[in-house]
Amino acid sequence: MRFWRRSIRAVGTAAGRLLAQEHSINPLRSLRHQSNANTGFARRHVACKWLVNVEKFRGSTRDCPDLCTACTRIAVVVSYPEACCCEPSATDRHTHRRLDEQEGWMKKTVLAVTFMVGYAWSAELPYWAYGFAGPGAPPTAAAAAPDSSLKHLPGSKLEFTRAQISDRFGPADWYPEDHASMPDVVAHGKRPDVFACALCHYPNGKGRPENAGVADLPVSYFIQTMNDFRNGNRRSSDSRKGNTNLMIAIAKGMTEDEIKQAADYFAAMKWTPWMKVVETATVPKTRIAGGMFLKLEGGEKEPIGQRIIEAPEDAEATEVLRDDHSGFIVYAPVGSVKKGQALVVSGGKATACGACHGTDLKGMGPVPGLAGRSPSYLVRQMYDMQQGMRKGVWTELMKPVVSKLSDEDMIDIAAYLASVKP
C-alpha cells in the first residue's frame, strides 16, 4: 500500500510539474509574467480535500479565501501559497477569469487528475524538515525592522549593520581568523544569480538547518552534487522551498573553475560539533522564519509529535547576526537516538551506513560524512531521494538504502546521526 501510494505520488507530482511547464500555466510563472492579469489556478480545497478549479482573485490576505465550486464553501487555498501572497492588487476587486475559460476540457481533466494525485498525496511530506508548518501553509518571513545600528559579537573585533550582515554579495565575516582566505565566489558570489556561499552556508561552511553544512565534504562529491543541481537532478520535494531553488540557480550560474575553488575551500575545513541533541516529549513552541524554527518567547511547550525541531541556541545570534559560532539544539522524540543507532549500525532495513559512509560515519573517499550533521537536512535528503527528486548518478547507491525507510525510521536515523560526535 505504502509503495503504491508513494509511486502514485511520485508519478503524479512529476506529471503535474511536467504539464505545468509544458502548458506554461505554472502559477508562479504566470504571476510573474502577467502580474496585472487575473489568472485561474487549480488548487486543492482543504475542507473537502478535493481538487477544485477555484476562481482566483488577486487578494491581499495570506489566507487567500476562494470559493470551492464543488461544495460552495470558502476554501483556504493550500497549494501555491506564494502565488496567493502576491502583492495586493490596487483595487482588490474580485475580477475572475476561470481556468476552464483558458484551457480546453482535455487539458483540464488531465491537469486536475495529475494535480490531484501529485498534490493531494504530497500531504505526507515531513513538512518540519522542509521548514513548513504543514501542507500549503504560506512561507512565513520575519519582518525585518529597518535598523542601521552597528552590531557586535563577543570574540569578534568587527562590527556590521544588519544590511551588511545579510548582503547577498558580501555578507559579514565575523571571524576571518577562523578560516583560510575565501575564494571570491564564496565571499562575494557573482552578480546577478550567484549569491555568496558564505551568506547561507556561513564562511566556515557550517550552514543552518534550512540549507546545508558544506564544510568537510569530499571535493569530488561536492563537484558531483553541484552538477546534479545544475542538471535538474537535485530538487526539493516541497516546491515552496525557495532556497533550494536559489541553490539551483547559483549552481547554474557558476563556472567549473568557481565550483572547484569553492569545493577545495570548504573541503579543507574539518566538521566539528555544531548541535546538541536532546530527547524530549515536549518542545518549546516555535514560529517559522525563512524555513528556520525559532523558539517563541514565553517558554510555552507543545508535544514534539513525529518531528525533530532544530532551533538556534540563541535566536538573535543566528537569525539576526548570522553568528557562525552559535549552533543549534536538536529536539528529538524520546528513544529515537537508540532506534536510529540500530538502523544505522546494523543496517536493519538496508545496508549498514558505515559500509559506504565510513565506520565512524565521517565520510569515506568520495562519500560524504553524516556524523553530527543537521537532522532536518539529512531527512530532507533521504526523503528527496526516496521521492526521486534527488537522482544524481551517485544517488543510485542510496536508492536501495532509502526505499524501505518509513518517516519514523528517517527521524530516528537523523536523530542518531546528529548525535554522533564528528
User: In the complex, which residues of this chain contact ligand HEC (CB under 6 A)?
Assistant: 185, 194-195, 197, 199-201, 211-212, 214, 217, 222, 224-226, 236, 243-244, 246-247, 250, 254, 262, 343-344, 350-351, 353, 355-357, 367-368, 370, 377-378, 380-382, 390, 392, 394-395, 397-398, 401, 413
CA angle 390, 237, 357 (to 5 degrees): 40
Q: Which is nearer to ligand HEC, 39 or 233 (CB)?
A: 233
Q: Which is nearer to ligand HEC, 56 or 234 (CB)?
A: 234
- The CA distance from 264 to 211, in Å, is 19
Minimum distance from residue 17 beta carbon to ligand HEC (Å)? 16
Q: Which is nearer to ligand HEC, 22 or 396 (CB)?
A: 396
Minimum distance from residue 210 beta carbon to ligand HEC (Å)? 6
Q: Which is nearer to ligand HEC, 18 or 393 (CB)?
A: 393
Torsion sign, CA atoms 84, 86, 91, 96? negative
Q: Which is nearer to ligand HEC, 63 or 193 (CB)?
A: 193
Q: 78: Cβ–Cβ under 8 A, 6 or more apart, which residues?
A: 43, 44, 45, 46, 135, 136, 137
Q: What is the largest CA-CA distance in the chain?
A: 65
Q: Which is nearer to ligand HEC, 30 or 381 (CB)?
A: 381
- The CA distance from 240 to 65, in Å, is 19
Minimum distance from residue 13 beta carbon to ligand HEC (Å)? 15
Minimum distance from residue 333 beta carbon to ligand HEC (Å)? 17
Minimum distance from residue 201 beta carbon to ligand HEC (Å)? 6
| CB < 8 Å & 24+ apart, contacts of 24-31 | 25/102, 25/103, 25/111, 27/80, 27/83, 28/80, 28/82, 28/83, 31/83, 31/86
Region at 19 (left for phi over 0; alpha for psi -120 to 50; beta for the rest): alpha
Minimum distance from residue 198 beta carbon to ligand HEC (Å)? 8
